[in-house]
Amino acid sequence: MNDRDPAAQDCGGPVKQVSVMPSIFPKWTNLLPLKLAVAVACLGGAATAGVWYYWTPKYSRVGYQPKQPVAFSHNIHADQLGIDCRYCHSAVERSWFSNIPASSTCMNCHSLLLKEDPKLALVRDSYTTGKSIPWVQLHRTPDFAYFNHSVHVNRGISCVHCHGQINHMEEVFHAKPLSMGFCLDCHRAPEEKIRPVDLVTQLDWAGAVDGKKLVNDWNVKPGQSCSTCHR
């Protein structure tokens, strides 16, 4: 028998008061609150960081590059051949909506150039039958946001600011987040983006311009109230 064992001592003889607290919690629990705090902090931090990093169009939309039914290259048409954006997207200056060209626009040239090319079979079919080419839309403002293309391109906001360097894309991908914060960044400081109107479709233009002067001269007052876009 071990005399240092209080329980054993208690067993024999008259009642001898030994004040020993029964150990409800084992010793390893001493660090438990700290460990729990660390674990919760880690999990909470990771969840916050995850939401901050992933739950945003910067992650969910940027880089979206759907497979298109016809392998149209903006790089060839806009950059190498130097065709203006508005040759195809001809309504962009007049409409809130920048149109996908009708297949007859493609056939302006492709009725003569590459007229047997199998890659263009869908375009020729569409032109003869009138059935639309099922292009996949990748830039799409939500239905509750009323974005107007014409007002932007007619006031010196270039295609490149929202669509990126489309003229160098073989396949178009979503280059900018187009989130509400993205819109507001520019609406709060239009002088950083504004450029002369005739340079709007020059996507590679990198010259300097007095933006404050253009904003003032054209009386550009991009609204920041809710009803500017949500109406």
Per rule CB under 8 A, is residue 65 in the interface with other proteins?
Answer: yes
Q: Which of 6, 44, 142, 196 binds other proteins (CB under 8 A)?
A: 142
Q: Which of 4, 144, 225, 227 binds other proteins (CB under 8 A)?
A: 144
Choices 61-69, 160-168, 181-189, 221-229; region in contact with other proteins by CB under 8 A: 61-69
For residue 75, the tally of other CB atoms under 10 A from its CB is 17
Give the DSSP per-residue string, 80-141.
IS---HHHHSTTTTTSSS-PPPPHHHHHHHHTTSSTT-GGGHHHHHHHHH-PPP-PPP----
Q: Which of 10, 84, 125, 192 binds other proteins (CB under 8 A)?
A: 84
The first and second tokens of residue 227, run together, are 């009803």
Per rule CB under 8 A, is residue 220 in the interface with other proteins?
Answer: no
161 with 193: CB under 8 angstroms? yes
Q: How far is CA 119 from the centre of its chain?
A: 30
Per rule CB under 8 A, is residue 181 in the interface with other proteins?
Answer: no
Per rule CB under 8 A, is residue 29 in the interface with other proteins?
Answer: no
63 with 54: CB under 8 angstroms? no
Residues that bind other proteins (CB under 8 A): 35, 38-39, 42-43, 46, 50, 53-54, 57-67, 81-84, 86-87, 90, 94, 97, 99-100, 102, 104-105, 107-109, 111-113, 130, 132, 137, 142-144, 173, 198
